[in-house]
Amino acid sequence: LGSVAASNYTVYTEHLGLLKRDAKRLDRTLSVQCIQSSRRIWNLHCAKHRARQHQHQAQPQSRGRRVTETGGTPSRTDRR
Q: What pLDDT, on a 0 to 100 scale, did the predictor assign at position 64?
A: 52
* pLDDT number for residue 9: 84
Average pLDDT along the chain: 79
| pLDDT for the residue numbered 56 | 79
DSSP H helical ranges for 59-78: 63-69
Weakly modelled stretches of the chain, pLDDT under 70: 1-4, 60-80
What gap in Å lies between CA 62 and CA 54, rounded to an integer? Answer: 18
Query: What's the pLDDT score for residue 77?
Result: 61
